[in-house]
A and B are shown apart, each in its own frame.
Chain A
Amino acid sequence: MAIIAMNGDQAIALSWRQIDPDVVAAYPITPQTIIVEQFSEFVADGLVNTEFVCAESEHSALSICIGSAASGARTATATASAGLAFMWEVLYVASAMRLPIVMAVANRALSGPINIHCDHSDSMGARDSGWIQLYGENVQEAYDNSLMAFRIAEHPEVRLPIMTCLDGFIVTHSLERFEPLPDDVVKQFVGEFKYRRSLLDVSKPVSMGPFDGTDYYYEHKYAQVEAMRRTIPVINSVAKDFAKLTGREYQLIEPYKLEDADYAVMAMGSTAGTLKETVDELRAEGKKVGSIKLRLFRPFPSAELMKMLEGLKGVAVMDRAISIGASGPLFPEVRSALYEAKHRPKLSNYIYGLGGRDVRPEELRSVYNDLMSGSGETVNYLGVRA
């Protein structure tokens, strides 16, 4: 299909039009709004056969998705920031009930102070909720992740909800060139939704979401652990199918010019793109540097990460979120993944871009300089005015 220009939100809406989910329930919140607006137009013009429910809150939006997915309907939603925080309680219900809901998250800072711009505090706050989390760097990836997400979530070995995260404004609102797939190819790739049990199967009544006491709760949580463990091979096999179709290859963690590098900086989302630019500049100056893009945060690909980072001299982990009183949320996970490595790189953490603060190439260059000169603290606050 031809290369076209769209912003990230429009690309998500396009993917949903092509997939034509049974139910979409959502509540508007910046910078996710374009997704629901655009999708509403598809509904208004009869381009989809979806039951579109405009909820009165995000809490209800996800609750509607839970009812819908439990009824054997392919279900999608989208939110951001406070909306995701408002869903917090029912995020856990959705994953515990093993409902393959697909949710686009337009990453935005959490209040307070109130701020509408990009950081990852919202989805990082949901890291323990039992949802799969994929992060996209640009419009193409936001679109591709959205297509793959349905296959991953609905896979019989998985049956878990999934967030496809895209940076607020930076990806959601920026027009970019990208290549969507033809409608019929999408339909074929995603396939029919096959549910396991449905509330609407009235001949086989099922009780969903029962009270779970001390004698079963733990086992049910462990079942989620096992499902999450089975997710990585599924993500890889879906990516393989997708590559056959499109030529676009997606790995859980994507290295950039890492083969002979001594130092690397690692990020999720759009900053991974800026990092590549910075690496190119430094390479032109003869510096042996590379970068790493983490696409999958949950489940956390520890083994793959250890393999990729082992032997490097220094790695900086960029966190667009903060756990006040500790560090960024990504950093301790990376550090923990490397604990068993024979040759551990020196690791440092850079908190950056909170509340949509721009991260400029020269700032990323300063991170590489810190790595190469061995300066910098364990946890650093990039670009903050003291």
Chain B
Amino acid sequence: MTVTNLKLISEREDRFVEGHRLCAGCAEPIIARQVLMATEKPIVVSNATGCFEVSTSNYPFTSWNVPWIHSAFENAAATISGVEAAYNALKRKGKIKEDIRFVTFGGDGATYDIGFQAISGAIERGHHFLYICLNNEAYMNTGIQRSGATSMGASTTTCPAGTCVPGKREFPKDLTKIIIAHDLPYAAQASPHNFKDLIEKAGKGFEANGPAFINVIAPCPRGWRFDSAKTIEISKLAVETCLWPLYEFENGKWQLTGDSRRIAEGGKKQLPITDWLKSQGRFSHLTKEKWAGVVVEIQKNVDKKWGELLKLCKQ
């Protein structure tokens, strides 16, 4: 079992340190630190191109206290496959003694879109690694362009809300379920507001004895247009509206966790999606009468997906 005793965790050496250039209020370093705290084993990190990579590795500086590699945008999963293959070969030959864990960080663009094939291939091949998707629902590093993870109704720079178009017209693909369809040992959705849940999931991912995947909602103050002090509040709201349910798929078994479990068991009330939409500037146009139908559609989809998930989790 993973130790989620805060006192113990806080005493561990920081693997990701200050000095990076990510925006104030960015969820990514919060998530990364939680993930890196989830194991005491030595770690090697691969990182896809994106905000997280450019802001933490500006040569000659680095925020990484663990071995870290960046190669390109779409190949972080392939890169870690190669690291893990080398590890297996060198361990077999007695050239490496340590018991090392491997983790990949990629944004939603790198994960849902351009790097999807590499992730699928790496999971199919069964490499032992944990993939963390830092899902801020758009290409933030290039200036807030839509991705396959962008929510319906969100205004981005390539699906701007206009007089004729209400922002993005499509729902995001359900990547976590697509990954689960690979029948891998471990997959989950998580949120940085519930650090205990996220750290436990990352711990399970590290010890999955095969490929593991965690999709983490990563609110972006710049792209989502909210006060940078509210990152954790917003990530909590994503879960409370059931837009971003917390759950895990462990050795074939689906299970809700955290607030999502409490909502399913009636211990907590599901909040309306309007609370979510009102909290961020990217949805501000949806308050117009004209787009009332879009809001209804979004709520309907949230309820439909939540209902499906309840069945899968036998709740």
Contact = CB atoms under 8 A, between A and B. Distances in A.
Chain A interface category by residue count: 35 or more
B75 A56 contact: no
5 contacts: A64-B79, A67-B83, A93-B71, A97-B71, A206-B68
B54 A200 contact: no
B117 A67 contact: no
Given A67-B83, A200-B96, A207 B71 contact: no
Contact of B81 (A64, A73, A93, A216): A64
Nearest to A216: B59
A59 B74 CA distance: 9
A56 B120 contact: yes
B118 A56 contact: yes
Given A60-B78, A199-B44, A211-B59, A71 B68 contact: no
Interface string B151-186: 000000000000000000000000000000000000
A68 interface: yes
Interface stretch (A45-53, A243-251, A280-288, A366-374): A45-53
Given A22-B93, A211-B59, A67 B85 contact: yes
A210 interface: yes
Interface in A9-30: 22-23, 25
A89 B74 CA distance: 10
B89 A22 contact: yes
B85 A25 contact: yes
A202 B58 contact: no
Residue of A22, A67, A90, A97 most packed against chain B (CB within 10 A) = A67
Contact of B117 (A56, A71, A97, A212): A56
Contacts of A207: 57, 62, 64, 67-69
Contacts of A75: 82, 86
From A55, A64, A66, A90, residue with most partner B Cβ within 10 Å? A64
A208 interface: yes
Of B79, B122, B124, the most chain A CB neighbours within 10 A belong to B79
A57 B125 CA distance: 13
Given A57-B117, A60-B78, A63-B72, A205 B64 contact: yes
Given A22-B89, A67-B85, 7 more contacts: A57-B121, A68-B82, A69-B86, A202-B42, A202-B67, A208-B70, A213-B59
Given A56-B118, A199-B44, A73 B72 contact: no
Interface in A84-109: 89-90, 93, 97
A211 B54 contact: yes
A64 B78 contact: yes
A200 B125 CA distance: 21
B277 interface: no
A202 B100 contact: yes
B98 interface: yes
Contacts of A68: 82-83, 85-86
A186 interface: no
Nearest to B69: A208
B65 interface: yes
A114 B65 CA distance: 48
B81 A200 contact: no
A51 B78 contact: no
A78 interface: no
Interface of B: 42-44, 46, 53-54, 57-60, 62, 64-72, 74-75, 78-90, 92-93, 96, 98, 100, 117-118, 120-122, 124-125
Given A57-B117, A67-B78, A210-B58, A51 B85 contact: yes
A22 B86 contact: yes
A279 to B, nearest CB: 46
A364 interface: no
Contacts of A23: 82, 85-86, 89
B142 to A, nearest CB: 14
Contacts of A22: 86, 89-90, 93
A70 to B, nearest CB: 6
A67 B85 CA distance: 9
Given A93-B71, A200-B96, A211-B58, A66 B86 contact: no
B119 to A, nearest CB: 10
Nearest to B98: A202
Given A64-B79, A64-B81, A67-B81, A50 B72 contact: no
A200 B90 contact: yes
A61 B162 CA distance: 43
Contact of A205 (B67, B79, B120): B67
A312 to B, nearest CB: 45
Contacts of B44: 71, 199-200, 202
Interface in A111-145: none
Contact of B82 (A53, A89, A206, A212): A53
A89 B83 CA distance: 19
A292 to B, nearest CB: 38
Interface string A154-166: 0000000000000
A216 B83 contact: no
A143 to B, nearest CB: 24
A53 B69 contact: no
B32 to A, nearest CB: 14
A65 interface: yes
B71 A60 contact: no
A51 B126 CA distance: 13
A280 B72 CA distance: 51
A71 B153 CA distance: 44
Contacts of A51: 85-86, 88-89, 92
Contacts of B82: 23, 25, 53, 63-71, 75
